[in-house]
A and B are shown apart, each in its own frame.
Chain A
Amino acid sequence: MTAGQIHDLGYQRYVGSRRGVGTRWSVIMRHQIASAWRGWWRFKLWLIAAALATAAAAALLYLASGSLFRFLGGLSGQQIRFADGVLPLSTWLYCKVGFIVSLTTAATLVAGDVQSGAFTFYFARSVRPRDYVIGTLAGLCVLIAMIMLAGPVLLAGLRLGLSDNLDQVIALLPIVAKALAIGALGTLVYAAVPLGFSALIANRRNAMALWATYHVVVGWMAQGVAFVTTPEVGALDLSAALNAVSLNLFDVHLRMTDQSIPTSAAVISILGHAAAAIAVVSWRVRDAQRTGVGGSS
């Protein structure tokens, strides 16, 4: 008797309840997280990098809250509030890590699924295109949020913890909301937008190259054009837009090109990019559903 036949002896048709169709997206979300978690280079390594960046920023924040910095702040004759500047300045670091993770996870996702025929796998089951889009996006958002959102919120919490008294805690509470806002925008930038690029080309490597080119080269070009025309154009550089929002929200003034981008333009750019990306992914996935199962006819 073979192992298969032995297994057959215990076989019974499944008669239990099935998960509702409306919740299948959560299975896809878990799958995306598990896939990224597998191995080191796709996510774990960069999460450690983000954790180290957070630790460095936290150390700086701790030192900056000390008496020496307060003394120096007093000497300068203006309100430096160096401690309050650590959090918005850390956005720059998170952007770098977020971009790398977006390359290893989001930028190849839809293209990879098109290449491997995964859409046939999905749509031969009770999975709707919107389940795939929501599940994939949610999974990526969880991953990217661990970098773009968790760090700033932890730093905000630490900043509150370093307050001198309860009144200061209450006064500083808005920084948590600001950190959440920056984290949410950063998550959108590095989850939704690269996912949209991955839906533009049915080839993993090309999709990754396209996103990298757009993020880096188009970003630089936008900054250059903004320098000679109007600062709003600079918002096409997504990391610069995010930095601008961060600096403006925390009212930290530095001589940076990023800060010249108005907050409204930066937010509109980020939300516009994300909306366009989600639209592209939805279109691609719907198309894959129509053509995938049962061949091309």
Chain B
Amino acid sequence: MTAVIELDRLAKRYGAITALDDVTAAVDGNIIGLLGPNGAGKSTLLKALLGLVPYDGRARVLGLDAATRGAEIRDRVGYMPEHDALLAGMSAVELCTYAGELSGLPRTEALQRAHAALYYAGLEEKRYQPIDGYSTGMKQRVKLAQALVHDPELLFLDEPTNGLDPRSREDMLDLIVELPARRGCAIVLSTHLLPDVERVCDHAVIMHRGGVRFVGTIDELRGARGRDSELFVEVKADAAGLADALTAAGASCRVTSPVALQVDLPASATTLLVFQVARAAGLQVRELGVRRESVEAAFLRVIGDAAPEPVRGVGGAP
């Protein structure tokens, strides 16, 4: 089966600046988080995938070569930009109909699907009002609707929760989570908000300094360094007592609260050791699990040298 995005030695240079440095990856999944610090090359990658900038190497989107079939790709891909990209003086339904027509839909079909997309985005009541008067949350919804109107198979969402209040952010994330099932499209979510990625994404691509540093599932990302021998343990009381007893049994422990500790088991031991030691010490284990990193911690680990980079100008390059 063809991956959603395939990159083979993809390179893009702006003069002396390397925005993408021989990137090779095959990306698949329902909701893919595209992560990376500013200047990592995410925007350039998006442009290359949409066939908007020339590049070296090969990039395929939905099985189509981005260098030669950019227009076809853009008909099959929806793009929700980070910044306002709405036309002044139009209502939401007019804008979405126009967007559909520009993507090649016949006018009547575009109109019908504009209504459907606006319903999906939760703007059914406001769809005839001029967009100029919309709140930030409503504008985000219109941007989502205009990206959906031509029935894309792949959706690029660029910071979709930017500027939203917590309630609207939750609503937007709910819409995004449901999209693959309700509209049958894959999503590439470019964001700096790692909790959003943790909440909605099943796959992640991490970029740094023009290269791809990680491609895989979120579980792989969080567990990439975790092993079954790295545990978290919650006890009814006296975590310090259990830590002493486990240390005596050869484990290394770190008490994180009076009732919780992190445990690294010796190589030959299993989780049974924790229960045996706890029982011997007269302590009750309430919860035990494999210790996983947060996406944020995993991200920082993957990009490794997360120290501020020297300004390379990628963020402002054309």
- A residues in contact (CB < 8 Å) with B: 3-4, 7-8, 10-11, 13-14, 16, 18-21, 24, 27-28, 31, 35, 38, 112-113, 116-128, 287, 289-291, 293-297
Q: Kindly list the 5 A-B residue pairs having the minimum CB-CB distance in the complex, ordered from nearest.
A: A18-B104, A294-B46, A124-B79, A120-B85, A117-B85
Quote the shortest CB–CB distance from A116 to chain B (angstroms): 5
Partner of B43, one of A3, A20, A116, A294: A294
Binding site for A on B (CB under 8 A): 19, 39, 41-44, 46-47, 50, 52-53, 70-72, 74-75, 79, 81-90, 98-99, 101-106, 109, 113, 115-116, 119-120, 122, 124, 146, 150-151, 158, 182-184, 314-318
**B39 contacts across to A, CB distance below 8 A:** 297
Partner of B120, one of A8, A31, A38: A8
Q: Are B103 and A16 in contact (CB under 8 A)?
A: no
Q: How far is the CA of A290 from the CA of B52 in the complex (A)?
A: 7
The contact of B75 among A13, A18, A31, A35, by CB within 8 Å, is A18
Taking a contact as CB atoms under 8 Å apart, the answer to whether B86 and A294 are in contact is: no
Q: List 18 A-B contacts (CB under 8 A).
A: A7-B115, A18-B75, A18-B105, A20-B104, A35-B90, A38-B89, A116-B85, A116-B88, A118-B85, A120-B79, A121-B87, A124-B79, A294-B47, A294-B50, A297-B39, A297-B43, A297-B316, A297-B317
Report chain A residues within 8 Å CB of B315.
Answer: 295-297
From known contacts A294-B158, A296-B316, infer whether A117 and B83 are also in contact, taking CB-CB under 8 Å: yes
Residues of B within 8 A of A291 (CB): 318
Shortest distance between the CB of A97 and any CB in chain B (Å): 22
List the A side residues contacting B151 at CB < 8 Å: 13-14
Contact A19 B106 (CB under 8 A): yes
Instruction: Choose from B50, B87, B104, B109 the contact partner of A293 (Cβ within 8 Å).
Output: B50
Contacts A128-B71, A294-B81, A296-B315 known; list 7 others, CB within 8 Å: A18-B104, A119-B85, A120-B81, A121-B99, A125-B103, A126-B103, A127-B102
Task: Out of B106, B146, B314, name the residue touching A297 (CB < 8 Å).
Answer: B314
By a CB distance below 8 angstroms, the chain A residues around B71 are 21, 126, 128
Q: Known contacts A8-B182, A117-B81; is A297 also within 8 Å of B102 by CB?
A: no
Contacts of A122 in B (CB 8 A): 102
Contact among A7, A19, A120, A294 for B104, CB-based, below 8 A = A19
Closest B residue to A20 by beta carbon equals: B104
Chain A neighbourhood of B314, CB < 8 A: 297
Assuming the A-B contacts A290-B52, A296-B315, are A24 and B85 also in contact, with contact meaning beta carbons closer than 8 angstroms in the complex? no
Bound CA–CA A28/B102 (angstroms): 8
Which residues of the partner chain A approach B46 to less than 8 Å between Cβ atoms? 293-294
